[in-house]
Amino acid sequence: MTKAILTVDDSPSLRLVLREALTDAGHRVVEAEDGIAALEWLASNEPQLVITDITMPRLDGLALIEQLRRRDDMRDIPILVLTTESAPESKAKARAAGATGWIAKPFDPDKLNSAIRRVTH
């Protein structure tokens, strides 16, 4: 069985759009509504890739990325940030935390899947 892509976003509608775009491209998808839920799933699973929003309750995307990069088993897993924030300082913070790439919302499914292919192959 192929490893899942973990999507982390507090918006149910965005998780739905992501799930449709990713499953249409043949990916298996697991969803988490924030960083805490993501960490709970990641305690016993290893994803192919993590796609995370930045602004979320309980544990935001930057804190999630930082926590994952401190783990030996997550150090090399690609992490894409999917967010409405586009300020250069936000991108710099995400890179500094350990993000692999950045995708702006609203996203184009073809561009998203192209970015996934680039970071997972």
Q: What global pTM score does this model have?
A: 0.94
Strands (E), 1-121: 5-8, 29-32, 49-52, 79-83, 101-104
Domain count, the chain: 1
**What is residue 1's predicted lDDT score, i.e. its pLDDT?**
58
> What is the average pLDDT value for the chain, to the nearest integer?
93
Q: Which of 34, 11, 14, 12 has its CA nearest to residue 22?
A: 14
Peptide bond into 106 cis (omega under 30): yes
CATH number at residue 104: 3.40.50.2300
Segments forming the whole domain that contains residue 75: 5-120
**pLDDT tens sequence for the chain (121 residues):** 578 999 999 999 999 999 999 999 999 999 999 999 999 999 999 999 999 999 999 999 999 999 999 999 999 999 999 988 778 888 899 999 999 999 988 889 998 999 999 998 7
